[in-house]
Amino acid sequence: MYLRKIFDNVAQTESALLCSFYGRWVTSRICGGTVLLMACMLSSPIAFAEEEAAWPPIEIAGHSVAPGDTARFFVDLAGTMSGQSRMLDAFVVVTRGIRPGPTLCLTAGIHGDEVNGMEVAHRIYAGTSGSSLAGTLIAVPAVNMQGVRSGSRYLPDRRDLNRAFPGNPDGSLASRVAHYLYQGVIRHCDALIDLHTGSSSRTNLPQIRTDLEFPPALRLARSFGVGVVLHGLGPSGSLRRAVLEAGVPAVIYEAGEPLRFEEEEIRRGVEGVRNVMAELGLIEQAVELQPSEVYRKTSWVRAGDAIGVFLTARKPGDYVKKGDVLGTVSDPVSEEVATIVAPRDGRIIGMAVPQFVLPGYGLFHLGLDPELNGAAN
């Protein structure tokens, strides 16, 4: 494997430098596990010449992609037998660079109604050529194809695919889809970016979420450059958590609301992904690390006992002080109006869009006690 050989070259080269925290990192899977290697990707010209000569095609789900080529194909995510309906196939685009480098996986549409990420993925793979790439880009722009077709967050069995990873070939439909995606595609990744939006009737300020205690993941989060980073492994069964627990850096980009193509959120996503590609060495592009507000704690402001029409006085990204008015909930029957106030200082990183709400509904997601640049300082 490419990254294993790079490590061997570095280890055998007396002039190899120890990387600082901000140096390049690579991962290598050894004996079924994953070993994180914090190493400068520096080696002698001879070593690089040998590496390029040995840069082989990559095999993804039975498809071989040679250096410099791009392949587009469908992958069966349900383990169906020959001759059966293939309704859950996922479209995959693999671009193999002409030069050695890491493999970056880009996933979107795990929730079928979250379309911003699908367009981010599309613009990335459509604008990537193997002739200018060092490494491999694997894009799955619409993982939950049936959800995309129906405009639904869920799979046909009403399960959330992002609670089923790494999956089970003999489990529920969601577990099977997660298993075949993970084994057929994700296990090839040296890094992963998973693209999302807010859930139904909610919107998110553009943000990155990952485990900030894992230095390579923190590095990806900061290089993405959206300015807001949330700490966390992610829910049990999420793709992010499964990949992080396998020792591979993974981040998710959350931006905007479902069932809408929002140009600003898409544009920032494309810029962020390309920043990460440059940081990993897949493309040549200047990357200037952006100051980031890192939130290790968040809290939801809920409707309490109120019921009725929610109207907001704030927008994502606003900073609020304790006692500030955030919005109102008006009961059209009793004509009572409940005022929603901030229980403490924070920043709105996500919120409900105006709608009819019931008691206890989450209205505003606040980031609390930010750290500038987080643990990177």
For 186-209, the DSSP string reads GGG-SEEEEEE---TTEEEEEEEE
pLDDT at 368 over 70: yes
Q: Does residue 16 register a pLDDT over 90? A: no
Mean pLDDT throughout 200-228?
96
Burial 217-245 (b: 16+ CB within 10 A, else e): bbbbbbbbbbbbbbbbbbeebbbbbbbbe
Q: Categorize the per-residue pLDDT at 376 as very low, low, confident or very high, splitting at 50, 70 and 90.
A: very low
**pLDDT 10s digits, 69-88:** 999 999 988 776 445 557 78
CATH 2.40.30.10 fits 294-376, yes or no: no
Q: Please provide the average confidence, as pLDDT, over all residues in the chain.
A: 87
Please check the confidence at residue 176 and state whether its pLDDT lies above 80: yes
**Residue 45 pLDDT:** 47
Mean pLDDT on 6-21:
34
pLDDT of residue 52: 53
State pLDDT tens for residues 36-59.
433 333 334 444 455 555 899 999
- Res. 135: pLDDT tops 80: yes
- Residue 290 in this model has a pLDDT that exceeds 80: no
**225/24: higher pLDDT:** 225
Q: Is 23's pLDDT higher than 70?
A: no
pLDDT (mean) for 256-261: 97
Sign of CA dihedral 32, 191, 121, 296: positive
Q: Which long-range contacts does 162-168 make (Cβ < 8 Å, 24+ apart)? A: 162/110, 162/111, 162/235, 162/237, 162/238, 162/239, 163/235, 163/236, 163/237, 163/238, 164/237, 165/237, 165/238, 165/239, 165/241, 165/242, 165/243, 166/242, 166/246
| pLDDT at residue 352 is higher than 90 | yes
Mean pLDDT of 291-313: 96
Tell me the C-alpha distance between 164 and 254, whole Å. Answer: 19
**126-146: average pLDDT:** 97
Range(s) within the chain of domains with CATH label 2.40.50.100: 294-376
| Per-residue model confidence (pLDDT) at position 14 | 29
Please give the pLDDT value at position 83: 53
Task: Give the pLDDT band of residue 19 (cuts 50, 70, 90).
Answer: very low
Contact 365, 326 (CB under 8 A): no
| pTM for the predicted model, two decimal places | 0.86
Q: Could you tell me the pLDDT band of residue 345, with boundaries at 50, 70 and 90?
A: very high
> Tokens for 376?
């990177």
Q: Name the segment(s) of the chain with CATH classification 3.40.630.10.
A: 56-290
Kindly state the average pLDDT of the residues 343-353: 98
Sign of CA dihedral 196, 197, 198, 204: positive
**Which whole number is the average pLDDT over 150-163?**
94
For position 88, what pLDDT does the model report? 84
Return the CATH class of domain 56-290.
alpha beta
- How sure is the predictor about 287, in pLDDT bands with cuts at 50, 70 and 90? confident
Give the neighbor-by-neighbor strand order of the sheet with 325-330. 337-341, 325-330, 308-312, 355-357
Mean pLDDT of the 122-126 span: 98
